[in-house]
Amino acid sequence: MSERVFEEIKIAKNGIKYFLEENHSFPSLSIGVFVRSGSRYEEEKFQGIAHFIEHTVFKGTRKRNAFEISREIEKLGGEINAYTSSEHTLFYVKLLAKDAEKGFDILSDILKNPTFEDSLIEKERGVILEEIQEYFDDPQDICQTEALKSIWGDSSAANSPLGGEGTVKKIEATDLKNYFNKFFNSNNIFISVAGDIDDILLNKFIDRYFSDFNKVKFTPDIGEPSFVFENRRFEKDTAQIHIAFTFKGSKLFSRENVVSSIFNTVLGGNMSSRLFQKLREERGLVYTIYTYPVRLLDTGGTVIYVSTTRNYQSEVESIITGEIESIRRDGVSQAEFEDAKSFVSGNLILGLESTSSKMQRNGIQGLLIGKVKKSEKLLEEIESIDLDEVNLYAKNVLDTKLGKVVVGKI
């Protein structure tokens, strides 16, 4: 029998799926409740509603007000927070192991008993609108969001979790309640815990605090988006020009996902990368240049982001497209490949030092694909990648049309 690649996903007495990565070397733990709720699942008129709910559940429950929710964790030296992405929302706490039960108490309270009071919703609507305005103050944020639209056009895969000012202003309390009751159910959540706790105690807490969680059977279903790779421009009064080139990438949890990490590292993923060395170290044309993958469950893209002055724009774009063509035509060298593979492996190992990063890595896998790959198997998979595989991947993704986003004084 072959050695198992995946860890065991467990099911609590109440039917909720969870995963525990025990680590008793330090008396702390991270607890995350992942919900399959995000911007990709939103109707056009409700864009931003998942993020709105993420904010609103912290504003008050039937047992606690907003101050009490944060105070009960923070007075223990802990942290409580949340974020919304394209395909999931995460609610989490990090605290000392001796206070684990308080973490489960608070998280279950905000996810089972939010009041959605009109006055609190209106106040938080103002906070979210301020967050959207803050986003529009940052041309780098704009460029990265426009890059998603360059990759997938009008598809919901390109939606910003923040939503738009117009849609956020129109979302009502009944909309929030309906969405919450539909998406926040026991079939649509996954609990991930990493740190100083054993399975017996964890199972006890999940059963105690989540046994009466909403039992509605609903899982969102979406179609795979098509690539468009549009050229997009966003006029903004800025000192620099902000540019993003877009092209194909890899989907989450695939072998290509690992190959693309090595490829991205060579192209622009660190200070040793081709684009950083060419544009910043050798030419002094930019301060910020990097490449990153955008990965979803069924598709993925790649973004090269750079900011520079208008005087250098043409030269910078020429160097970037030149390096893209060089890798497409000639591939990456053996030395580049070996360095990038070591970098990706090292990053994975360093990430395992943190209970927060373990909790998030395990939770995303558990929620979206229902299994968690063993860390040592991930390392083995990285080690198994060879140069030919990376160069074939590079040619495949670079042989297609490129998109381009420009933000600034145009």
Q: List the alpha helices (DSSP H) in 57-161.
A: 66-74, 100-112, 118-137, 139-152
The CA distance from 68 to 366, in Å, is: 31
Structure tokens at 184: 């926040």
The CA distance from 167 to 162, in Å, is: 10
**Counting Cβ atoms within 10 Å, is residue 23 exposed (0-12), middle (13-18) or buried (19+)?**
middle
Hey, which residues does 194 pair with through a beta bridge? 21, 30
Catalytically annotated residues: 54
Q: What's the length of the chain?
A: 410
Give the CA angle between residues 353, 357, 358 to the nearest 5°. 75
Q: List the alpha helices (DSSP H) in 113-251.
A: 118-137, 139-152, 165-170, 173-183, 199-210
Distant-in-sequence, close-in-space partners of 255: CB < 8 Å, separation ≥ 6: 381
